[in-house]
Structure formats: structure tokens, C-alpha cells
Chain A
Amino acid sequence: MREVAILGVAMTKFGNSERTNMEMFAEAGLEAINNSNIEAKELEALFFGNCLGTFEEGQMHMAAFAHSALGMRMSAPSTRFEGACATATVAVRHAALLVGAGVYDMVIAGGAERTTAMGTPLATRTFAMGCQAQYETPLGITFPGVFGMAAHMYSKKYGIPIKELKRNMAEVSVKNHFHGAKNPKAHFKKEISVEKVLSGAFIADPLQLLDCCPFSDGAAAVVVASADKAKQLVDKPIYIAGTGQAAAGPLYHQQDLTRVIAREVSMKGAYKQAGIGPQDIDVCELHDCFTIAEIMAIESMGFYEFGKGYDAAAKGETRLGGKIVVNPSGGLKSKGHPIGATGAAQVTEIVEQLRGESGSRQVEGAKIGLVDTLGGDFGTVCNIILRS
């Protein structure tokens, strides 16, 4: 495999949008193209992420229209990716794999999602379609419910009283809002307190409202090219050092919900390809769809031993200035979570961090960054390691 790099990156502001998926994707895509000092006609393929367009806008087959919205050549194929919340990361990874394999020299990857137009009941129903349709969904399980079960299991397994665990989970939310308040693109650009998290409405026990990321609208895109080509076009290409991806079946087969086995497998592959370990990561954007999810992730990535990551946020170790900065963008919690775009927005944040372009949320001297995205009830995990 030849070396692959990222050129321009871009994301829309996340939040509630009146604009269509195509309008949002065109904004992010064209900005990424312009930032790459190229024209859309030079791109050889589009790797497009979207999950719920059918329900959001009555639009299936969005990839072909996204291609047209960017003004790409007819001979450049466009393919839709869907891996629940990990959708866009999977799209970026496959773009990198095909460029690495020499099939293409330069392509664009990303995604768009417009969840808020559906309203909470339909959005919750369609998100639940990411669980197993015959054996999980009929029980009325939701993603907050899945992570609620994980939190209870974590409490029991490691002997951490639920009250203590919840306080530490709240610290994750507070930390990510602290970061997100510095991000002009964030859905919720505001700081919150532990007390506020702990006084929110219960969504799925033990998770309360501010343990949960929002439904958001938004789009993000990244241009991916061979390293040789990237060096000719931009000052600071960011290299894809390693990627990983793994799949797992229904939760009742996964059993121990405190360990996302697919993540452990995916991370092992990404670290191996990059030739590095957890101690080498300077900055990480990971899948904090729920507060407990961030705790589980930093353990699976090897930043903490299993059962020891729960108080990392409370100790300030994952905050700006801490030993491993996690979700400087604000994460899914504060930045927002338009599921088909999230992974490309995580890549956007890491690329900007490694270029030193992140302003007041810059992780000083960051050279190696990690992207982590989890889809469904732990069914898909995709990781990308980037270096400057």
C-alpha cells in the first residue's frame, strides 16, 4: 500500500438546520475542495455517508445526487456508505484504502445527515433500526438503553457504586461541553455543570439527558489523495498512518457490554499498521454518544486499564492540557452528532489539530491523532490514526 494523505477538510456548523442534506454536503464538500487547491472535476470518486435520508427527506440513493451537487465528473463513481453512527469514518477509511491500493489518486469522502426534521419519536424509532430488528428492536431497546445497560454492568463489574459512577460520567459531559464552548461549529456551544447533568430528565437509566449526545443536522467532507499528490497541492498534508475496522453481532452475543470487542480488534489493527501504541497518541476524537461510552472507549484504546478510566475526566486528564486530550471539538455530546457525517467531522477536527489550526482548543504540539467511531449497538467500530 502506498502512503495516503488528507488535503482539505471541512464541516458545516452542527445543530438544527433548515437546509437540505445536499445543501449541507455541498457546503462542506466545496470548502474541502477549495482548501485542497483543486477543482471538483479532478476528484475520481465520492465515498458518501448517510443513514436515514429515506426518513428525513424521502431520499434514498443520495450518493449520486451528492456527486452532482459538488459538480464532479460523470465518470467519477459515487457510493453510499452506511454503518450507523460510524458511517462517515467507514467511508473515509474505504477512500484511503482504494487510494492506498492505487485504484484512485484523489477522491473525496464524507457524509450528511438531517435528523432533527424527523422529530424525537420518529428519530428514536429510526435510530433503533440500528439494533437487531427481530430480537432487539421489538423489546423497545434504544441506543441510550444499550449504553444504560453498559453503565449498570460497569458499575457492578468494577464495584463502583452507581452514584459515584454517575458523578464521574457527568464529568465527561462537563469536560466535552468545556471543549465545545470553544468550537464555533458546535451544536451546543456552552459550558455546563455536574449538578446540571445530574438534575436532567432520565432517558434510559442510569443515563440522564446531558449524558446523551443530541440529534443534529450537519455535513462534513475530506479530500484524500496519494501522499505524492498531496505534497504537491497543500502545505501541510496529514498522513493516514493506520486504520482499523471491525464488526460484531447482536448484543446478546457480545455479552460483556463494558468491553466493546469490535473496538479492541479495530484498534489493534490501526496501532499495528501505524507502528505505534496508545502512549503515542497526542489527541483523540472518540465516540462519546453517551458519557459512559467515552469511559469505555479510553479503556479499549489502551489509555487506561479496564475499570480505571471512569474518573479520567474528573481528574482533568482528558481535558485540554491533560495527559491525553479527548474530544477537543466538544465530541458528539457538545459538537453534535449528525450520524452520517460524524466520522468525517472527527477527521476534520484531528486534521486541524495536527495542523495547529484549532485556535483556543488547540492541543499544543499535537503530532499524532486518533479518530474513533462506533456504529449501532457496538456492531461497527472504525478507527483512523493520523500524523502530521
Chain B
Amino acid sequence: MNAECTFEEYQKGLAEDKLLGVLCADCNAVTVPPQAVCCKCGSQKLSAKELGKTATLKSYTVIRIAPDGMNPPYIVALAETDDGPWVMGNLVGLDPEKADIELIGKKISISSQEVKGDIYAIGDIRALTFNLQ
């Protein structure tokens, strides 16, 4: 089991405003969040890597009917980091009613916020947030 960067370390990184992943020695791909193998080629030859926190928004939705415990409306989005891998996060700092298709392609910066875990979750989790640049 590769432990170049564990879930706990990734979480701690987010609390310190760092986005941590792993870099593949075989194909050079970056995998984030970290896991034991490269997400592109499956290699186990990985080292910890801090990513830049800028990305391009690739798609979004406004959640209006939410799971128990969430407060809609809110925006969930996918973004392609400048380092390559894609990440999912909540687009914050924008009124969900103002979200439209023109968001796709916009540059964002990545940060995080703590989400309270419910009785099913493993605990409180720092989840990614996106802000329009």
C-alpha cells in the first residue's frame, strides 16, 4: 500500500490551503485526491505532489432537491486543474440563480470548506470550493 499521501494528509493539506496529490514516475500524470495507484496508468511509483490551485470550470449544476442535511440551492461543478487532473467542488461566492452555461470555460481558484458529516459519513470532511477569478 502506497502511503505517499493519505486521505488524512490530503485533508490536513486542505486545512492549510494546500491541494495535495500524487505524481506518477511512469507517465507523469497527477492523481488527485491521492490514492495508491496512478489514475491514468495504474503505476504504484508515486510521489507526493502539491498542485496549483487554479483550474477551468468544465460543467456545473444547481442542486435544488438535496440529500437530507444539505441546504439547497447550491452549485456543484467539475473543473480541470492547470496541472491536468479534474476535481469536483462547490462553486461559491455566486448566487446560484445567476449560474448559466457561460460559466463553462471560466477560470476558478480552488479552496476548501468543512462539511459536517451526518451519521453515515466518516466524519467532518473538508470539501473543495471554487471561486470565479
Does B61 contact A148, Cβ atoms closer than 8 Å? yes
Residues of A within 8 A of B7 (CB): 134
Tell me the minimal C-beta distance from A56 to chain B in angstroms: 15
A121 to B, closest residue via Cβ: B68
Tell me the minimal C-beta distance from B92 to chain A in angstroms: 11
Chain A 111-124 interface 0/1 with B at a Cβ cutoff of 8 Å (1 = within): 00000000011101
Does A252 contact B65, Cβ atoms closer than 8 Å? no
Q: List A residues 123-145 near B (Cβ within 8 Å).
A: 124-125, 127-129, 133-142, 144-145
Q: List B residues 54-107 near A (Cβ within 8 Å).
A: 58-70, 72, 74, 76-78, 80, 85-90, 99, 101, 104-105
The verdict on A140 contacting B67 (CB below 8 Å), with A135-B33, A153-B59, A249-B39 known, is yes
A255 to B, closest residue via Cβ: B86
Q: Is A241 an interface residue (CB 8 A)?
A: no
Q: List A residues 73-103 near B (Cβ within 8 Å).
A: none
Give the bracket for the number of chain A residues in contact with chain B: 35 or more
Q: Is A202 an interface residue (CB 8 A)?
A: yes
Does B59 contact A203, Cβ atoms closer than 8 Å? no
Does A204 contact B61, Cβ atoms closer than 8 Å? yes
Does B76 contact A257, Cβ atoms closer than 8 Å? no
Does B66 contact A124, Cβ atoms closer than 8 Å? yes
Does A129 contact B120, Cβ atoms closer than 8 Å? yes
Residues of B within 8 A of A122 (CB): 68
The verdict on A142 contacting B78 (CB below 8 Å), with A135-B88, A153-B58 known, is no
Tell me the minimal C-beta distance from B118 to chain A in angstroms: 8
Tell me the minimal C-beta distance from B90 to chain A in angstroms: 5
Tell me the minimal C-beta distance from A198 to chain B in angstroms: 16
A136 to B, closest residue via Cβ: B88
Bound CA span A342–B111, Å: 40
Q: List A residues 195-245 near B (Cβ within 8 Å).
A: 201-207
Does B90 contact A140, Cβ atoms closer than 8 Å? yes
Query: Is chain A's binding surface mostly helix, strand, loop or mixed?
Result: helix
Bound CA span A138–B7, Å: 14
Bound CA span A48–B101, Å: 42
Residues of A within 8 A of B104 (CB): 152-153, 156
Residues of B within 8 A of A139 (CB): 76, 88-90, 115, 127-128
Q: Is A247 an interface residue (CB 8 A)?
A: no
Taking a contact as CB atoms closer than 8 A, the residue among A120, A128, A141, A148 that contacts B88 in the complex is: A141
Taking a contact as CB atoms closer than 8 A, the residue among B60, B64, B67, B127 that contacts A128 in the complex is: B67
Residues of A within 8 A of B122 (CB): 133-134
Taking a contact as CB atoms closer than 8 A, the residue among A134, A156, A201 that contacts B64 in the complex is: A201
Chain A 175-202 interface 0/1 with B at a Cβ cutoff of 8 Å (1 = within): 0000000000000000000000000011
Q: Is B41 an interface residue (CB 8 A)?
A: no
Residues of A within 8 A of B3 (CB): none
The verdict on A202 contacting B64 (CB below 8 Å), with A145-B76, A155-B101, A253-B39 known, is yes
Does A149 contact B125, Cβ atoms closer than 8 Å? no
Bound CA span A145–B117, Å: 20
Does B63 contact A141, Cβ atoms closer than 8 Å? yes
Q: Is A162 an interface residue (CB 8 A)?
A: yes
Taking a contact as CB atoms closer than 8 A, the residue among A125, A146, A257 that contacts B69 in the complex is: A125
Bound CA span A252–B77, Å: 10
Residues of A within 8 A of B66 (CB): 124, 140, 142
B88 to A, closest residue via Cβ: A252
Residues of A within 8 A of B1 (CB): none
Does B86 contact A145, Cβ atoms closer than 8 Å? no
The verdict on A124 contacting B33 (CB below 8 Å), with A149-B76, A252-B86 known, is no
A129 to B, closest residue via Cβ: B120
- Interchain residue pairs with CB less than 8 A apart (24): A120-B65, A121-B68, A125-B67, A127-B67, A135-B33, A138-B117, A138-B125, A138-B127, A139-B88, A139-B127, A140-B70, A142-B66, A146-B61, A148-B61, A148-B62, A149-B76, A149-B78, A150-B59, A156-B105, A202-B64, A203-B64, A205-B99, A251-B78, A252-B86
